[in-house]
Structure 1
Amino acid sequence: MKISTKGRYGLTIMMELAMKHGEGPTSLKSIAEKNQLSEHYLEQLVAPLRNAGLVKSIRGAYGGYILAHDPTSITAGDIIRILEGPISPVDFTEEDDPAKRELWLRIRDSVAEVLDTTTLEHMITYQSEDAKDSYMFYI
């Protein structure tokens, strides 16, 4: 299974909102500029996330988007399934070789387990820890 830009950029939106959780709305324009992404494309991605109840939109001059739930309760699997559809490495049928079908099912289940046990909180914590461990060189 290859995650498209829909899934990757959707995770980016959600991580940005998770980092600002409790601080008020964040505009898609600021997310787009920070991550060098198309604001128009992010608007297309945030709609299904809003419809699924993962984000809320706030109107007005200081509006934007906020997470609808705590970052500890939203998983990468939630986001990927909304934007990419079901998690499956290949399409297979009952007529397929049972050994191959078993392999595809095991791969699907392993990927699903990782996605479903990785919360937004885990992702932003890992991101901030990674930034702390980087070296700064001055010339």
Structure 2
Amino acid sequence: MKISTKGRYGLTIMMELAVKFGEGPTSLKSIAERNQLSEHYLEQLIAPLRNAGLVKSVRGAYGGYILSHEPETITAGDVIRILEGPISPVDFTEEDDPAKRNLWLRIRDSIASVLDSTTLADLVSYKEEGQLDSYMFYI
């Protein structure tokens, strides 16, 4: 499974909102500028996150977006599934060789386990502490 820019930029948005959690709304324009991303593209990504209830929009001159829940309760898996769909390294059918099917299921479950055990608070903490390379996963 290859995570597209939708998933990567979606996590960027959510991490930025996690850093500002409790401080008021953050505009997509400021997130786009800080990360050198397209504001228009971020606008497309925020809609599904809002529809899923992970973010709230705040209207007005000082409006923007805030997390709907604390960063400790939102996982990378939540964000990736909303923006990318189900986690699956390959499409397989019941007719596939059982040994290969077992391998694909174990890979899927391993990826899901990492994504579901990593919260936005964890990601922000890794970034702030300069530990971006602290996790090495081998499959």
**For each residue in 1:82-109, what CA deviation from the matched residue of structure 2 results, as whole angstroms up to 9, or x when unmatched?**
0000000000000000000000000000
Name the structure 1 match of 2:137: none
Over aligned residues, Cα RMSD in angstroms?
Answer: 0.7
TM-score (norm 1): 0.94
- Superposed displacement of residue 63, structure 1: 0.1
Following TM superposition, the consecutive aligned residue runs of length 4 or more in structure 1 with deviations greater than 6 angstroms are none
- Superposed displacement of residue 13, structure 1: 0.1
Q: Please list every run of 5 or more consecutive structure 2 residues that lacks an aligned counterpart in the other structure.
A: 132-139
Alignment of 1:64-103 (within 5 A): 64-103=64-103
SS at match of 1:57: strand
Alignment of 1:48-67 (within 5 A): 48-67=48-67
SS at match of 1:130: coil
- Superposed displacement of residue 39, structure 1: 0.2
- Superposed displacement of residue 46, structure 1: 0.2
SS at match of 1:72: helix
Name the structure 1 match of 2:9: 9
Work out the CA distance in 1 between the residues paired with 2:42 and 2:90: 27
**For each residue in 1:92-130, what CA deviation from the matched residue of structure 2 results, as whole angstroms up to 9, or x when unmatched?**
000000000000000000000000000000000000000
AA matched with 2:87? I
Work out the CA distance in 2 between the residues paired with 1:124 and 1:80: 16
TM-score (norm 2): 0.94
> In the alignment, is residue 104 of structure 1 matched against residue 104 of structure 2?
yes
Work out the CA distance in 1 between the residues paired with 2:57 and 2:77: 22
Alignment size in residue pairs: 131
Decide which structure has the larger Cα Rg and report it. 1
Work out the CA distance in 1 between the residues paired with 2:109 and 2:63: 39
AA matched with 1:91? D
Name the structure 2 match of 1:29: 29
Work out the CA distance in 2 between the residues paired with 1:99 and 1:40: 44
Work out the CA distance in 1 between the residues paired with 2:55 and 2:109: 27
Work out the CA distance in 1 between the residues paired with 2:92 and 2:98: 10
Q: Please list every run of 5 or more consecutive structure 1 residues that lacks an aligned counterpart in the other structure.
A: 132-139
Work out the CA distance in 2 between the residues paired with 1:35 and 1:123: 16
